[in-house]
Chain A
Amino acid sequence: MKIPPHHASADVSSEAVFEARGLKKEYDGGQVQALRGVNFRITQGEFVVIIGPSGCGKTTLLQMLGALDVPSAGILHYRGNSMAEMPDPSAYRAREIGIIFQAFHLLPTFTAVENVQMPMFETERPADTRTERAVELLKSVGLGHRLEHFPSKLSGGEKQRVAIARSLANGPAVLLADEPTGNLDSENSKHILELIIRLRREQNMTLVLVTHDLNIARMATRTIQMKDGLIVADLQTPPPEA
Chain B
Amino acid sequence: MNFFSIVVRGLLRRPVRTGLTLVGISVGIGAVVALVGISRGFEASWATGMKVRGTDIVVSNMGNALAPKPFSSEVRDRIAKLPQVVEACSIYADLTSVEDASMMVVSAREWGGFSWQNLKLISGRMPHDGMEAAVVLGQTAAETLKKKVGDPLQLETKELIVAGIVDGGAMVENGSVILSLALFQNITGNEERINVIDIRAAPGLSEEEMKVLCEKINATAPEARAMVAGEHLGNSQAFRFISAMSWGTSLLAVIVGVLGVMNTMLMTVFERKQEICILLAIGWKPGRVIRMILWESALLGFLGGIVGVIIGTIGVKVLETLPAIHGMLEPDFNLGLMAVAVGLAVVVGVVSGLYPAWRSSRLTPSLAMQG
Point out residues on A near B: beta carbons under 8 Å: 59, 62-63, 66, 68-69, 88, 90-91, 93-95, 99, 101, 103, 105, 107, 109-110, 114, 117-119, 121-122, 127, 130-131, 166-167, 169-170, 178
Contacts and interface: CB of A to CB of B under 8 A. Distances in A.
A107 B274 CA distance: 10
Given A105-B278, A127-B1, A130-B1, A91 B283 contact: yes
A103 B274 CA distance: 12
Given A68-B364, A109-B9, A131-B1, A122 B283 contact: yes
Given A103-B371, A107-B275, A90 B286 contact: yes
A68 B281 contact: yes
Contacts of B275: 107
30 contacts: A62-B369, A63-B366, A66-B365, A68-B366, A69-B364, A69-B366, A90-B283, A90-B285, A93-B281, A94-B283, A99-B282, A101-B278, A101-B369, A103-B371, A107-B275, A107-B279, A109-B9, A110-B1, A110-B9, A117-B1, A118-B282, A118-B284, A119-B284, A121-B284, A122-B284, A122-B288, A127-B1, A130-B1, A167-B282, A170-B283
A94 B369 contact: no
| Complex A-B, nearest 7 residue pairs according to Cβ-Cβ distance, in ascending order | A94-B283, A68-B366, A69-B366, A90-B285, A93-B283, A68-B365, A119-B282
A110 to B, nearest CB: 7
B12 interface: yes
B280 interface: yes
B154 interface: no
A173 B6 CA distance: 27
Contact of A68 (B9, B12, B369): B369
A93 B1 contact: no
A178 B284 contact: no
The main secondary structure of chain A at its interface with chain B is: helix
B335 to A, nearest CB: 34
Contacts of B371: 103
A94 B282 contact: yes
B3 interface: yes
A191 B275 CA distance: 27
A122 B366 contact: no
Contacts of A95: 283
B13 A101 contact: no
Contacts of B280: 90, 93
B182 to A, nearest CB: 76
A213 to B, nearest CB: 18
A103 B278 CA distance: 11
B229 to A, nearest CB: 58
A109 B281 contact: no
Nearest to A104: B278
